[in-house]
A and B are shown apart, each in its own frame.
Chain A
């Protein structure tokens, strides 16, 4: 099996310098895109942990992405309003009083806590209930896909509480900072870079130790692990929970950069797209996840601007290439090259 891309310090340093210098190198529009896509790379890294390392394919990461995105967006909607005012979409729906669980989100700290806690807590409960029953593989993937479908449908149907099909958009303030100022945009970008680095470092640490070994061992050898006295369930539950945390933060950061969160970002199709970023970047490699998320999304932006009808074909083509020729994605290509050169 090809190992993950060896992290060559030089390449890493160049990437880091480029990332830090990006505000001077890119237009404001492209910097915003880079920020968005780096935010998405957190989702991809979560899938590397869960799918590439733990062998658990989730087609429902959109749910956790949405939980993070909506939690922050609820605060952002309220931050611009006076104490008695209601968000615009509630007024249009004829709501007269803010629901209590919405009112909690007046505090930015509640929103931050919700981003960090709600998705992981739900993920842990769900994963424990499922993995304890030894449900896995394609059944697990189908259940998560149904969750994504259900979640998107719920958001659309509860127009007066969620903004329905349009989602939550048009917000301007976070922690007293005006989100529309160019300086704020640069800070947001750097915060996103920081989160990307933290996620990268955290996952690399987690996977290098005994936890990583047991998680990889559970990928093919759940039974062997059991009969060696290790219960494989907790490792999968932790992987699913950590992936949900990363995906929730990813959704919140994306919402800040994009200025919108909507059901179109959380349903079945976006959830599958997330898996495709990782398949193309290389599902066993944390670096591959970042590369895949950036590459596929920049390609999506360029191709769908030029030839809107072509993008889905392009994505499908990339996916077929990844599955048939490059089972470990782009990072697998590099790992293979390095190995061939070494022998």
Chain B
């Protein structure tokens, strides 16, 4: 039996006694969209941190295609095929938009390759493609630091895609966006599914319903429910703790 793309097995992250995630088990299938929702403090971002090696789990295992990655170096996790977009956009502000994407798309990330002058034409071509995809073609040569908030979000989504990672973690890709921008973002994200597996974290239920896909509800660091959005919406317990309705 092939192992699932990503599997969390009894993962606990303990911050000095506060268990941000507590004995969480979860699988993420290949080539599909998984949406994780939950109220603030449910442990959504910490779960992402544990997957990409930003925090180390105090217990449990994180498996990518059956291989343990919970102790791998951050850049190694990326090389193995997971890349994450952060909640606050983390673009490389001193560089131009196209350079941000080209560095992300670099096929060979060993440092001494940066000393050669041979242009990475595959990465350049990929960067141009992604500029179109995220709608930033006319901002190609702007400094990333000078983009608007929404543009930064799109650029970072583009950078994550450019790494060609199999699994993309998008942590609140619509944070700080208006309704129109959110809709545009949903279109961008939906177009990624299939070629990539996408794990989206959000708590904007409108955005989540635009995405479709399987929904996982976290609460107090644990898995509360998983199912289709309709099932989740119909669930009384979820409504009580999350949607604020009894």
State the A residues within 8 Å of B (CB).
1, 206, 209-211, 213-214, 216-217, 219-221, 223-231, 234-235, 238
Contact B75 A226 (CB under 8 A): yes
Contacts of A206 in B (CB 8 A): 115
Q: Contact size class for B?
A: 20 to 34
Closest 9 CB pairs of A and B: A229-B78, A234-B111, A224-B90, A217-B92, A211-B114, A226-B74, A210-B114, A216-B94, A231-B75
Q: How far is the CB of B35 from chain A (nearest CB, A)?
A: 21
| A225–B92 touching, CB < 8 Å | yes
Nearest opposing residue in chain B for A220, CB measure: B93
Tell me whether A213 and B95 are in contact (CB under 8 A): yes
Complex partner residue of A228 from B103, B112, B120, B143, CB under 8 angstroms: B103
Residues of chain B touching chain A, judged by Cβ–Cβ distance below 8 Å, are 52, 54, 73-75, 78-79, 83-84, 86, 90-95, 99, 103-104, 106, 109, 111-117, 120, 143, 145, 159, 163
Q: Which residues of A contact B90 (CB under 8 A)?
A: 221, 223-224, 227
Cβ-defined contact, A213 with B84, below 8 A: no
Give the residue name and chain of the B residue nearest to A234 (CB): B111
Chain A's closest residue to B117 (CB) is: A209
Establish whether residues B95 and A229, one from each chain, have CB atoms under 8 Å apart when the complex forms: no
User: How far, in Å, is B82 (CB) from chain A's closest CB?
Assistant: 9
> Taking the nearest CB of chain A, how far is it from the CB of B93, in angstroms?
6
Which residues on A sit within 8 Å (CB–CB) of B159? 228
- Which residues of chain A are near B54, meaning CB under 8 Å? 223, 227
- Assess whether B163 is in contact with A229, with CB atoms less than 8 Å apart: yes
Minimum Cβ distance to chain A for residue B42 (Å)? 22
12 contacts between A and B (CB under 8 A): A1-B93, A1-B143, A210-B116, A211-B114, A214-B111, A216-B94, A216-B95, A221-B92, A223-B90, A227-B78, A229-B83, A234-B112
* Besides A229-B75, A229-B78, 7 new A-B residue pairs in contact (Cβ under 8 A), listed by A number: A1-B94, A209-B115, A214-B111, A224-B86, A224-B91, A226-B74, A228-B103
Nearest Cβ on chain A to B2's Cβ, whole angstroms: 25
- B114 to A235, Cβ gap below 8 A? yes
Q: How far is the CA of A221 from the CA of B90 in the complex (A)?
A: 7
Decide yes or no: A219 and B94 within 8 Å by CB, A209-B115, A214-B114, A227-B52 being known contacts: yes
Which residue on chain B has the smallest CB distance to residue A3? B143
Which listed residue (A209, A216, A220, A228) contacts B83, Cβ 8 A?
A228
CA A230 to CA B109, docked complex, whole Å: 6
Given the interface pairs A211-B114, A231-B73, the reply to whether A220 lies near B106 with Cβ below 8 Å is no
Q: Which residues of B contact A225 (CB under 8 A)?
A: 92, 103
Q: Are B103 and A227 in contact, with the CB atoms below 8 A?
A: no
B53 to chain A, nearest CB (A): 9
Residue of A nearest to B90 (CB): A224
CB nearest to B100 among chain A residues: A217
Q: How far is the CA of A115 from the CA of B160 in the complex (A)?
A: 44
Shortest distance in angstroms between B240's beta carbon and chain A's nearest beta carbon?
Answer: 36
Q: How far is the CA of A266 from the CA of B82 in the complex (A)?
A: 47
Complex CA gap A230/B93 in Å reads 16
Across-interface contacts of B92 in A (CB, < 8 A): 216-217, 220-221, 224-225
Most buried by B among A210, A214, A219, A227: A227
Q: How far is the CB of B77 from chain A (nearest CB, A)?
A: 8
With both beta carbons as reference points, the residue of chain A lying nearest to B105 in the complex is identified as A228
Min distance, Cβ B72 to any Cβ of chain A, angstroms: 12
Q: Are B163 and A228 in contact (CB under 8 A)?
A: yes
Contact of B109 among A220, A227, A229 (CB under 8 A): A229
Asked if residues B83 and A227 are in contact (CB atoms below 8 Å), the reply is yes
B94 touches which of A209, A217, A226, A235 (Cβ 8 Å): A217
Check A231 against B103 for contact (C-beta < 8 Å): no
Bound complex: CA A1 to CA B91 (Å) = 15
Inter-chain CA distance A1–B143, complex, in Å, is 9
**Whole-angstrom distance between the alpha carbons of A213 and B91 in the complex?**
13
- In the complex, the answer to whether A209 meets B74 with C-beta atoms within 8 Å is no
Q: Of all chain B residues, which has the CB nearest A228?
A: B104
- The residue of chain A having its C-beta at the shortest distance from the C-beta of B164 within the complex is A229
B123 CB → nearest A CB, Å: 10
Residue of A214, A223, A234 touching B103 (CB-CB under 8 A):
A214
- Closest-by-CB residue of B relative to A205 is B117
